[in-house]
Chains A and B, each alone.
Chain A
Amino acid sequence: MTDQQIKELLQAADPARGQVDDQLDAQAYDDLRKIVGTTRRRGKRATYGRLAMTGLAGALVVVVLVAQPWAGSSEEGGPGTAHAGTPPLLKYTPQDKRPAKEQLLDFAARVRALPAEVPSGPVLRLTTKGWYLVSGDMTESYIEPQAATAYVVDRQIRSLQDGQLGDPIGVYWPNELSADPAVLKNQLAYAHPGNSPDSFLAALGDLQAEANPGPKLRAALMTLLADQPGITADGTVVDRFGRRGVAFSLVSDGGGLPSKKTVIFDVKTGVVLGREEMLTEDAGKLNVPIPSVISYTSYLSRDYLPALPK
Chain B
Amino acid sequence: MRDERDFAELYRRRYPAIYAYGVRRVGPESAREVAAEVFLVLWRRRIELAEDEELPWLYGTARKVTANLLRSEKRRSALTQRVSSVIAVGVAGQLDPMGAVDAVLDVRAALGRLSPKDQEALLLVEWEGVDLAAGARITGCSPNTFKVRVHRARRKLGELLKDQAAPAVGVLAVRKGEGDD
Write the chain B residue with the least CB distance to A43: B46
Cβ B108 vs Cβ A13 within 8 A: yes
Q: Mark B1-21, 1 if CB is under 8 A from A, else 0.
A: 100100110011001100111
Find A31's partner among B7, B39, B104, B175 (CB 8 Å cutoff): B39
Write the chain B residue with the least CB distance to A22: B16
Interface positions of A from 10 to 45, Cβ below 8 Å from B: 10-16, 19-22, 24, 27-28, 31-32, 34-36, 38-41, 44-45
Cβ A19 vs Cβ B95 within 8 A: yes
Tell yes or no: A138 within 8 A of B by CB: yes
Cβ A159 vs Cβ B152 within 8 A: no
In the bound assembly, the distance between CA atoms of A45 and B64 in angstroms comes to 21
Write the chain B residue with the least CB distance to A60: B140
Residues of A contacting B104 with CB < 8 Å?
9, 12-13
Residues of B contacting A141 with CB < 8 Å?
68, 72
Tell yes or no: A235 within 8 A of B by CB: no
Cβ B40 vs Cβ A148 within 8 A: no
Interface positions of B from 12 to 67, Cβ below 8 Å from A: 12, 15-16, 19-21, 23-24, 27-28, 32, 35-37, 39-41, 43-50, 53, 56-57, 60-61, 64-65, 67
Q: Which of A97-105, A128-136, A237-245 interfaces with chain B?
A: A128-136
- Within the complex, the shortest CB–CB distance from B11 to chain A, in Å, comes to 5
Cβ B48 vs Cβ A19 within 8 A: no
Residues of A contacting B49 with CB < 8 Å?
47-48
Residues of A contacting B123 with CB < 8 Å?
10
- Within the complex, the shortest CB–CB distance from B47 to chain A, in Å, comes to 5
Cβ B32 vs Cβ A157 within 8 A: no
Find B44's partner among A19, A40, A130 (CB 8 Å cutoff): A40
Find B154's partner among A6, A21, A57, A134 (CB 8 Å cutoff): A6
In the bound assembly, the distance between CA atoms of A7 and B129 in angstroms comes to 11
In the bound assembly, the distance between CA atoms of A221 and B83 in angstroms comes to 25
Residues of B contacting A10 with CB < 8 Å?
107, 111, 122-123, 126-127, 157
Tell yes or no: A126 within 8 A of B by CB: yes
Cβ A135 vs Cβ B68 within 8 A: yes
- Within the complex, the shortest CB–CB distance from B22 to chain A, in Å, comes to 9
Residues of A contacting B28 with CB < 8 Å?
19
Chain B interfacial residues counted at CB < 8 A: 85
Cβ B65 vs Cβ A139 within 8 A: yes
Cβ B86 vs Cβ A9 within 8 A: no
In the bound assembly, the distance between CA atoms of A47 and B175 in angstroms comes to 46
In the bound assembly, the distance between CA atoms of A7 and B123 in angstroms comes to 10
Cβ A64 vs Cβ B68 within 8 A: yes
Tell yes or no: B92 within 8 A of A by CB: yes
Cβ A15 vs Cβ B45 within 8 A: no
Interface positions of B from 127 to 142, Cβ below 8 Å from A: 127, 136-141
Tell yes or no: B79 within 8 A of A by CB: yes
Find A191's partner among B19, B74, B115 (CB 8 Å cutoff): B115
Cβ A9 vs Cβ B71 within 8 A: no
Cβ B65 vs Cβ A24 within 8 A: no
Residues of B contacting A146 with CB < 8 Å?
71, 74, 76-78
Q: Given the known A-B contacts A19-B28, A138-B37, are A38 and B140 also in contact in the complex, defined by CB atoms under 8 Å?
A: no
- Within the complex, the shortest CB–CB distance from B178 to chain A, in Å, comes to 12
In the bound assembly, the distance between CA atoms of A13 and B43 in angstroms comes to 33
Q: Mark A55-82, 1 if CB is under 8 A from B, else 0.
A: 1011110101000000000000000000
In the bound assembly, the distance between CA atoms of A123 and B84 in angstroms comes to 23
Cβ B172 vs Cβ A8 within 8 A: yes
Q: Given the known A-B contacts A13-B111, A19-B20, A35-B40, are A150 and B139 also in contact in the complex, defined by CB atoms under 8 Å?
A: no
Q: Mark B91-128, 1 if CB is under 8 A from A, else 0.
A: 11001100001011001100111010000001100110
**Beyond A51-B57, A136-B64: 11 further Cβ-contacts under 8 Å?**
A8-B172, A11-B127, A14-B24, A15-B92, A35-B36, A35-B39, A36-B43, A38-B40, A41-B46, A138-B45, A143-B71
7 contacts between A and B (CB under 8 A): A9-B107, A14-B127, A15-B88, A45-B46, A52-B137, A161-B77, A297-B78
Closest 6 pairs between A and B when the two form their complex, measured CB to CB: A58-B140, A148-B77, A148-B78, A128-B78, A15-B92, A1-B158
Q: Identify the A interface with B (CB < 8 A).
A: 1, 3, 5-16, 19-22, 24, 27-28, 31-32, 34-36, 38-41, 44-48, 51-52, 55, 57-60, 62, 64, 126, 128, 130, 134-136, 138-139, 141, 143, 146, 148-150, 157, 159-162, 166-167, 169-170, 172, 191-193, 209-210, 256, 297
